[in-house]
Amino acid sequence: MIYRDFQDLKLSALGMGAMRLPVVDGDDARIDEAAAFEMVDLAMKSGVNYYDTAWGYHNGNSELVMGKALARYPRESFYLATKFPGYDLSNMPKVQEIFEKQLEKCQVEYFDFYLFHNVCEMNIDAYLDPQYGIYEYLLEQKKNGRIRHLGFSAHGDYQVIQRFLDAYGKDMEFCQLQLNYLDWEFQNAKQKVELLDQWNIPVWVMEPLRGGKLASLAPEYEEKLKALRPEEGIPAWAFRYLQSLPSVKVILSGMSNRQQMEENIQTFAEDKPLNAKELETIHSIADSMVKKIVLPCTACHYCTSHCPQGLDIPGLLALYNEHCFTQGGFIAPMALSAIPAEKQPSACIGCRSCEAVCPQGIKISEAMADFTAKPGD
């Protein structure tokens, strides 16, 4: 296992993200605890020492399951991270209540790493609003040893991150960014990293495979990569790319099964950053892919818990993208035909509750309306 120095710690370069744990019967709220425990055991055995969860993952059950799984190990043998759920504005007055509940759910007396979750356009004003006292409360918990390292995650644009840093940057020790070779230019990740470099704030990576979209590529792209490194799997390219960025300390991967974890552990057995030609090739592939992307959904599922209709929004958006990519075709209409009428895109009532919590800023209601009109046209 590769390790990175962070202050006086040695963190595994691969961190286990607990947003996409194995589930029962496709129900995101029902984590397969036995399978999750097995994955944690494999991670611990293989030298992974960083575990990332959050209040809202798996409808609130991720913290519970990770707490149970890690409680079987000595507290000093792992680093646990969770976050204040500011992606939901109704949580802003509840920082103390939520923090205490998180400690209870995770069965710990302190968090090694704690983050302001999802700093973005829709919550930056609230995060900076002194009436909620979030910043002051978290600093107090750090002073009391209940938070060892304080940071933030961000899906917002450059200006949002800059505002947050101008207010709180002096106390931020790390930043979790959506970072991969697709988003280096597409979501302006390059400039965000450069901004963090100016503040001497290291980067933790989320969505290294962009919600699984970089786990496999179109045949013409895969051929180019295989010609350069025949022994390297396609998902490994995303990780090797990130190993090439000196600002990156921890790369979080939301692994859903043992096989994914085994492959990632093998990748992180050694440092093999990309050379100049390989970087040029991967950026060229990314540029080509971006031109084909319709909606940048990463299947984080924040939207689903806010949908009064109970729609599987990430699944519907995936079908929508497929339909748009192929300019029609049979795949999306065929898949839609198996979905009950009350769960179809046409069931969207346009309330936009989902849009208020979407880290990507997707206009979901417009996509649902467009999707309703497309199939069969």
Residue type, 71: A
Is the alpha carbon torsion for 225, 231, 235, 238 positive or negative? negative
User: Using 50, 70 and 90 to split pLDDT, how confident is the model at 187?
Assistant: confident
User: Using 50, 70 and 90 to split pLDDT, how confident is the model at 287?
Assistant: confident
Residue 332 reports pLDDT greater than 80: no
pLDDT of 376 reads 55
Averaged pLDDT, 346-355: 95
Give the model confidence (pLDDT) of 94-121 as tens digits.
999 999 999 999 999 999 999 999 998 7
The percent of the chain in helix, strand and coil, each rounded to the nearest 5, is: 45, 15, 40
* CATH code, residues 3-290: 3.20.20.100
User: What CA–CA distance (Å, rounded) separates 70 from 129?
Assistant: 35
Angle (nearest 5°) at CA 303 between 301 and 307: 125
Residue 294 reports pLDDT greater than 80: no
For residue 151, give the H/E element and its range: strand 147-154
In the numeric block, which tokens belong to residue 343? 């769960």
pLDDT of 335 reads 75
| Pairing assessment for the beta strands 23-24 and 27-31 based on DSSP bridges | antiparallel
Give the model confidence (pLDDT) of 131-161 as tens digits.
999 999 999 999 999 999 999 999 877 888 9
User: Using 50, 70 and 90 to split pLDDT, how confident is the model at 339?
Assistant: confident
Place of tokens 């795949």: 331
pLDDT of 186 reads 75
User: What CA–CA distance (Å, rounded) separates 122 from 109?
Assistant: 32
What is the pTM for the complete model shown?
Answer: 0.79
pLDDT of 336 reads 84
pLDDT of 206 reads 93
pLDDT, mean over the chain? 92
Measured CA to CA in angstroms, residue 369 lies from 29, 38, 344 at distances of 27, 42, 11
The fraction of the chain above a pLDDT of 70, given in percent, is: 95
Averaged pLDDT, 185-199: 92
Strand partners of residue 111? 147
In the numeric block, which tokens belong to residue 285? 């592939």
Give the range among 42-46, 86-90, 281-285 with minimum mean pLDDT: 86-90
Q: In sequence order, which residues have a C-beta less than 8 Å from that of residue 20 and are 6 or more positions away?
A: 254, 255, 256, 299
What are the φ/ψ torsions at residue 82 (nearest 5 degrees)? -145, -175
Give the model confidence (pLDDT) of 213-248 as tens digits.
888 999 999 999 999 999 999 999 999 999 999 999
Domains of the chain, residue spans: 3-290, 304-373
User: What CA–CA distance (Å, rounded) separates 338 from 331?
Assistant: 11
pLDDT of 185 reads 84
User: Using 50, 70 and 90 to split pLDDT, how confident is the model at 293?
Assistant: low
Please, are residues 160 and 154 in contact by the beta-carbon 8 Å criterion? yes
pLDDT of 272 reads 95
pLDDT of 128 reads 95
In the numeric block, which tokens belong to residue 108? 């710990």
End-to-end C-alpha distance for the chain, whole angstroms? 52
Of the two residues 330 and 341, the one the predictor is more confident about is 341
Please, are residues 134 and 116 in contact by the beta-carbon 8 Å criterion? yes
pLDDT of 155 reads 80
pLDDT of 122 reads 79
| Max mean pLDDT range (49-53, 212-216, 322-326) | 49-53
Angle (nearest 5°) at CA 41 between 272 and 235: 30
User: What CA–CA distance (Å, rounded) separates 325 from 291?
Assistant: 10
